[in-house]
Amino acid sequence: MDDSVKAALAKWPNVPHCYGWLALDRRGRWLLKGDPLQMPNLEAFIARNYDGDDHGRWFFQNGPQRVYVELAYAPWTLRLTAAGTLESHTGEPADRIEGAWLDDDGNLLLQWQRGLALLDDRDLPTLVDAIRNRDGTPADHDRLHAFIDGRPADFFLHWRSQVLPLGFIRGHAVPQRFAFVRIPRPET
């Protein structure tokens, strides 16, 4: 968090929270009242001051005001860099992947050091090629589609030097399983 934000919080600790103003789309773009932000300095400021609270709500600390973020899918989005590594929508490197799941719509979810992330759909073909059978051979696409339909199978994500079991999860169960709130609301 920026020092200027910390100072503003100390000076004005009781500023009301803001809801319904800021969103994060499935590709990790910030949306302001539904429109993509296209101001690099503001996007960088939001990224530096993005965090989650103890109730699983994600927010941007805008000086003394907490602006809750509506999530299109997950609190984080990961993307492939030109160097072939993963980084978050805030520009943080995803050094270690700790878990991997496919949902019933074919989305790839990755647990990294900051929490659960949705892989940007533009990078899905590359990482789908990293899904392997138990013996390391490439996954058969028909079996993979059956897995997405909920049929059991043993698949593994081979990413860099890691080999992770690939789990299956229904999309509607993701927020509860990973303890986050997609659309924060004021507490009553």
Residues 98 and 169 in one domain: yes
- The whole-number pLDDT of residue 20 equals 94
Looking at the fold, whether 80 and 170 belong to one and the same domain comes out as yes
- pLDDT given at position 108: 97
Alpha-carbon gap, residue 44 to 67, rounded angstroms: 15
Same domain, 66 and 128: no
Is 186 part of a structural domain of the chain? Answer: no
Q: Do residues 46 and 87 share a domain?
A: no
Residue 9 burial (C-beta neighbours within 10 Å; 0-12, 13-18, 19+) = middle
Name the domain boundary from 42, 71, 100: 71
Tell me which of 38, 71, 104 is where a domain ends: 71
Q: Which long-range contacts link 165-168 to residues 24+ away (Cβ below 8 Å)?
A: 165/100, 166/100, 166/101, 166/102, 166/131, 167/99, 167/100, 167/101, 167/102, 168/101, 168/102, 168/103, 168/104
Say if residue 40 is in the same domain as residue 94: no
How many C-beta neighbours within 10 Å does residue 110 have?
24
**What tens-digit pLDDT sequence spans the chain (188 residues)?**
677 767 766 665 676 889 999 999 999 999 999 999 999 999 999 999 999 999 999 999 988 889 999 999 999 999 999 999 999 999 999 989 999 999 999 999 999 999 999 999 999 999 999 999 988 999 988 999 899 888 888 999 999 989 999 999 999 999 999 999 999 999 86
- The closest alpha carbon to 118, from 131, 102, 141, belongs to 102
Q: What is the pLDDT of residue 24?
A: 98
**Is residue 182 situated within a structural domain?**
no
CA dist 96 and 161 (Å) reads: 10
Determine which helix (DSSP H) or strand (DSSP E) holds 183, and give its type and residue range.
Answer: none
Is residue 185 in some structural domain? no
Per residue, the 3-state secondary structure of 84-126, as one string, reads CCEEECCCCECCCEEEEEEECCCCEEEEECCEEEEECHHHHHH
Q: Which domain holds residue 40?
A: 3-71
* Number of structural domains the chain divides into: 2
* Structure tokens belonging to residue 185: 């609301």
Domain presence at residue 32: yes
**Residue 10: per-residue pLDDT:** 64
Same domain, 107 and 146: yes
Q: What is the pLDDT of residues 57-106, one digit of tens each?
A: 999 998 888 999 999 999 999 999 999 999 999 999 998 999 999 999 99
> Same structural domain for residues 42 and 92?
no
pLDDT at 12: 59
Question: 108 - beta bridge partners?
Answer: 102
Domain end residue (candidates: 71, 88, 105): 71
Residues 62 and 114 placed together within one structural domain of the fold: no
Specify the pTM.
0.89
Long-range contacts of 138-142 (CB under 8 A, 24+ apart): none
